[in-house]
Amino acid sequence: MTEIVPGITLDVARTQPRPIEGTSATAAEVLAWLAAGRSEAELVSERGLTEAQIREVLRYATVLAQQNLDATFAAIWADPDRNAAEAESDRRADEEIDAGGGFRGSIDELVAAVDAR
């Protein structure tokens, strides 16, 4: 059993996700509810989660995002053709962000924003 972030554990021997400590909800369920537009207040009142547990789920999501980004970048850097195509895509995305839309920041800034909630 490995604690990924406080209150969220991973047991690689289990095939089913483990519930968040003290609840019957999994981190994936909480993320799905938030993605579907449920507010934190609704999850606190309807699902018995605490605000701290919701923050930990969001912190867990940033850990997963970072791992996914690391794996993606490793694959891109290993392939020069894909690296060039991705660089062009990034340039266009940067222009769109600079034009006024989207999030520009690091994973650390995203974690800080989650922690500030």
Query: What is the β-pairing status of strands 8-10 and 2-5?
Result: antiparallel
49-81 pLDDT, tens digit each: 999 999 988 988 888 888 877 777 777 677 777
pLDDT at residue 50, rounded to an integer: 92
Euclidean distance between CA atoms 114 and 117, whole angstroms: 5
Does position 91 have pLDDT exceeding 90, yes or no?
Answer: no
pLDDT at residue 5, rounded to an integer: 63
What is the pTM for the complete model shown? 0.52
Q: Hey, where are the domains in the chain?
A: 2-116
